[in-house]
């Protein structure tokens, strides 16, 4: 995997379980490179894992676009998961805890929403879905030398 470049946008395929592992690894690498603390990294990777699995299982596969963000001194990351599957017929229902269209726990979209700063869904039945999340670095990054 290439070194993290904070100015680049990375697009990764989501077509297999192995791709899910690569997405998690890349999201963690990008978040660490942007200065996200360990807890924030874990939340972001968890959200990415849920959304990547939804892309694979419900959307039949697709891709994620990982983009670093800058807003003055603020740093953040945007993850856009895209598929061309059946789409999400009722987004509000899909965001409800406990709802599952595939016998799962039903924590995917609602759980991901709680782990990031922003989550949007663009979907029409039969036309796939784009689920986009944004997270911003909060606080000072942890001192990795153990001095803080």
What is the model's pTM?
0.84
Containing H/E element for 40? helix 38-57
Q: State the pLDDT at residue 98.
A: 62
Q: State the pLDDT at residue 107.
A: 57
Torsion region of 24: left, alpha or beta (phi above 0 gives left; psi -120 to 50 gives alpha): alpha
- How does pLDDT run along the chain (148 residues), one tens digit per residue? 555 566 679 999 999 999 999 999 999 999 999 999 999 999 999 999 999 999 999 999 999 999 999 988 999 999 999 999 998 887 777 777 665 555 454 457 888 999 999 999 999 888 899 999 999 999 654 444 444 4
DSSP 3: P
Q: State the pLDDT at residue 134.
A: 97
Q: State the pLDDT at residue 97.
A: 66
Q: CA 111 to CA 44: how far, in whole Å?
A: 11
Which residue is associated with the tokens 């690498």?
29
Q: State the pLDDT at residue 4.
A: 54
């Amino acid at each position: 995997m290439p070194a993290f470049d904070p100015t680049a946008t990375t697009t990764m395929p989501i077509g297999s379980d192995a791709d899910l592992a690569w997405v998690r690894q890349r999201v963690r690498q990008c978040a660490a490179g942007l200065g996200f603390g360990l807890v924030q990294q874990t939340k972001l990777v968890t959200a990415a894992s849920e959304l990547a699995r939804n892309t694979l299982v419900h959307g039949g596969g697709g891709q994620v676009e990982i983009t670093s963000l800058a807003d003055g001194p603020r740093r953040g990351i945007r993850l856009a998961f895209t598929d061309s599957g059946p789409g999400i017929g009722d987004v509000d229902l899909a965001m409800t805890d406990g709802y599952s269209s595939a016998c799962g726990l039903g924590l995917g979209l609602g759980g991901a929403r709680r782990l990031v700063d922003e989550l949007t869904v663009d979907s029409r039945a039969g036309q796939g879905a784009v689920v986009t999340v944004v997270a911003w670095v909060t606080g000072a990054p942890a001192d990795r030398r153990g001095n803080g």
